[in-house]
Structure 1
Amino acid sequence: MNDEVNEKELRARLVERLAVDGHLRTGPWREAVTAVPRHEFLRGGFFREVAGSTPTAWAPVVQDDPRWLESCYEDASLVTQIAGTVVPGDIRGEIMRAPTSSSTMPGLVVRMLEELRVDAGHRVLEIGTGTGYSTALMCHRLGDDSVTSVEVDQDVSTRARNALGHCGFRPELIVGDGLAGHSKGAPYDRVIATCGLLTVPHELIEQTRPGGVVLVTLCGWLYSSELARLTVHEDGTASGRFLGGQISFMLARPHLPPPLGLLPDLDEGDERRALFGVEVISDWNTRFVAQLAAPRTQYAVLTREGRTEHLFLDVDAGAWAVLREHDGLWTVRQNGPTRVWDAVEDHISRWRAAGAPPLEEFEITLTSGQPAVSWPGL
């Protein structure tokens, strides 16, 4: 009984925090967050980052841990799977592999649901079931029959189904490639993706009714990402704007970058004085603009012959740029079919010449899978 009271108190505190922080803005979603117990979707535990570990290590936090319940009601993302298969109950000690699934921080979940602008009777397609917590919130708001959720990982989907059933929710759960949507249930009034995307699969646009909304997080391999709300039009195109907030998600698995592999000979190519040094990508908005110029370029820091080099490499295109600093001056050497840093400098220069408008003022148009992004004054 004490645990039940404690859980309800923790949930009430979370509701108030989300409201104070401006994420939870409307009554129906407040009722949903008040009613849905997040801890039921984390019964299998989660991983916490081991402080000071390099590379990052993760340690399991399971249900009998005294920190488990309180952590479930923090406004924080909780990693639930490592390396594609490993869950907290699988290990003792620590693991140094990359996270592959998580329970997104409630503030971001609620913000996205508010931004989706659903209404009674709307049918929603969710890309990425994950733990099922956001699915449960939508079921509470709209009803089970109005919610379809697609998850690529069979085990993740099964755990979500069990948690949802335990809470009394029975939406349609599909195991498959969420980037292909679920055409059998189309058309949908709303589509929401809880993973980062390089491009917007046109299947998601095709499966949304005209006037419907697609909410996605657009990202690139420089890992600056933005939430975008797109309205679908009668002609099969879509348009919209970024919503701001510097959010991030794990990339959809098909959109993960390839291994860097064998690096090119960085002493080849053409060298010149760089207009900008690598410090420009330390700013989120500037990095996003740079990423628009080179969305499939990866960034790595190297040490060669005692000097630090900053590599920007598009593996598939075979194009690269390496920046070096000496006495406060930057040079760039480039090679390949395109000039990566030329494109980055051009985008940043034009954006700054337009007054460096915030990302919320950018306009997005989608006629195929690749969004075209522009800003005022371009």
Structure 2
Amino acid sequence: MSDLDTAALRRALADQLADGGHLHTRQWRTAVESVPRHEFLRAGFFERVIGPGPTAWRPVPAESRGWLVRCYDDESFVTQVAGTIAPADIRGEILREPTSSSTLPSLVVRMLEDLQVEDGHQVLEIGTGTGYSTGLLCHRLGDDHVTSVEVDPEVSVRAATSLGTCGYYPDLVVGDGLAGHKDGAPYDRVIATCSVLAVPPAWVEQTRPGGIILATITGWRHASGLARLTVGDDGTARGRFLDGTVSFMLARPQAPPPLGMLPDFGSGEERRARLAPTLLTDPAARFVAQLAAPRAQRLTLPGPSGTEHVLLDVDAGAWAALLPGGEERWTVRQGGPGRLWDDVEEHLLRWQADDAPPLAAFEIEVSPEGQRVAWAGA
């Protein structure tokens, strides 16, 4: 396909993002129309295999039939699995977890709009990935104003190649993005394309007063919210969560510990649950539960009377198992130090008593003492 045809694909993508309410400003529209996304997917990508059983992925090589047009779909593409495996490394299907991806353009652009950059700003990007969002930042601000940190050396090299092909040469750093990049500080804006359990103190320290940090706060139960914080003169960052659903892969150093040998969920103290675990299908409720037990992972197990919902804090050794009963009643068994489901119920009942505010009503503060997240008035 000719350069003229790929320009048409870029314009069509910009039109789609604008019509969807994601793309608002002229500068970012120009960037979307100028930066060729397919150049950042030259190594191909993985597509999900639809079917029963565990999630499988199969490679879609670059230049294969339909590849170029798909590059301009508003879709996320997995570009690495299991920490090292690229699409060119296998044939057939693979049953491993994704570890790097090209985020759907509507989310990329929405976050860049939410970042509120201005000419001359210095931006730190955490998570280079394929380099597409880095390229958009370079087009908008200029190479000298963009620093991007990537933990995976091979991913960073591929991104550098793609960016160079497009004529962009930002400061690309291989390292732990949770530590930021002190040598380029202070920054006017920090944006994370991975999710984090908590905003790292280094990001706050490396952002100038009045600067903005945009990051997805998540947990080991996969409840996420996009937070925008402003750094104050006192070194504390404060802000709120933004509307809309946001999901990113968790920063690799913050991955949950292996479950290991499971406890005996038939033991422990038993009582009737005041709340059902099915409440946690609501994203805001799941986020509240995550605040109550931040180190707990969730799993489901088959039981004699139906699916059992389990919370397990591996490091603390605490657990809670909820078992279905008749007439939509649930029983909870809890063991180990502390009582996980007691803590979850306490938070959820207070949240319900405050009219169950949405995630956009939550506030976040990051100070030297740590991170605090709560809904307004809590």
Please give the range of the TM-score, normalised by the shorter of the 2 chains: over 0.9
Distance 1:325 1:221 in 2: 23
Query: Which residue of the partner structure matches residue 224 of structure 1?
Result: 223
SS at match of 2:261: coil
1:371 corresponds to which letter in structure 2? Q
Q: CA deviation at 1:4?
A: 2.8
Task: Report which stretch shifted further, 58-67 or 169-178.
Answer: 58-67
SS at match of 2:133: helix
Q: CA deviation at 1:307?
A: 4.5
Structure 1 unaligned residues grouped into runs of 5+: none
SS at match of 2:233: coil
Query: Which residue of the partner structure matches residue 317 of structure 1?
Result: 316
Query: Which residue of the partner structure matches residue 331 of structure 2?
Result: 331
Query: Which residue of the partner structure matches residue 203 of structure 2?
Result: 204
If the length of structure 2 is used for normalisation, what is the TM-score?
Answer: 0.98
Matched, 1:47 2:46: yes
Q: How does 1:85-164 map to 2 (within 5 A)?
A: 85-164=84-163
Deviations 1:237-260 (CA, angstroms, capped at 9, x unpaired): 110000021110000001111111
Q: Contact 2:78–2:100 (CA<8 Å) still a contact in 1? A: yes
Query: Which residue of the partner structure matches residue 357 of structure 2?
Result: 357
Deviations 1:154-180 (CA, angstroms, capped at 9, x unpaired): 000000000000000000000000100
Distance 1:192 1:216 in 2: 6
Distance 1:109 1:231 in 2: 20
Query: Which residue of the partner structure matches residue 377 of structure 1?
Result: 377
Distance 1:369 1:24 in 2: 37
SS at match of 1:302: strand
Q: Contact 1:124–1:146 (CA<8 Å) still a contact in 2? A: yes
Q: How does 1:165-314 map to 2 (within 5 A)?
A: 165-304=164-303, 307-314=306-313
1:334 corresponds to which letter in structure 2? Q
Q: CA deviation at 1:302?
A: 1.0
Deviations 1:246-288 (CA, angstroms, capped at 9, x unpaired): 1100000011111111011212221111011110111111111
Task: Report which stretch shifted further, 208-217 or 300-309.
Answer: 300-309
Q: Contact 1:201–1:369 (CA<8 Å) still a contact in 2? A: no
Distance 2:119 2:4 in 1: 32
Distance 1:137 1:115 in 2: 14
Q: How does 1:57-76 map to 2 (within 5 A)?
A: 57-76=56-75
Q: How does 1:2-81 map to 2 (within 5 A)?
A: 2-81=1-80
1:347 corresponds to which letter in structure 2? H
1:199 corresponds to which letter in structure 2? A
Counterparts in 2 of 1:123 and 1:165: CA distance versus 1, 3 Å: same
SS at match of 1:332: strand
Q: CA RMSD in A?
A: 1.2
Q: Contact 1:187–1:207 (CA<8 Å) still a contact in 2? A: yes
SS at match of 2:149: strand
SS at match of 1:264: coil
1:168 corresponds to which letter in structure 2? G
Deviations 1:207-252 (CA, angstroms, capped at 9, x unpaired): 0001100110000111010100010111111100000211100000
Deviations 1:310-365 (CA, angstroms, capped at 9, x unpaired): 11001111111000011121010111221111111111111110111111111111
SS at match of 2:129: coil
Q: Contact 2:305–2:325 (CA<8 Å) still a contact in 1? A: no
If the length of structure 1 is used for normalisation, what is the TM-score?
Answer: 0.98
Q: CA deviation at 1:305?
A: 5.1
Q: CA deviation at 1:371?
A: 2.0
Distance 2:322 2:304 in 1: 15
Q: CA deviation at 1:369?
A: 7.3
Distance 1:54 1:119 in 2: 48
Structure 2 unaligned residues grouped into runs of 5+: none
SS at match of 2:191: strand
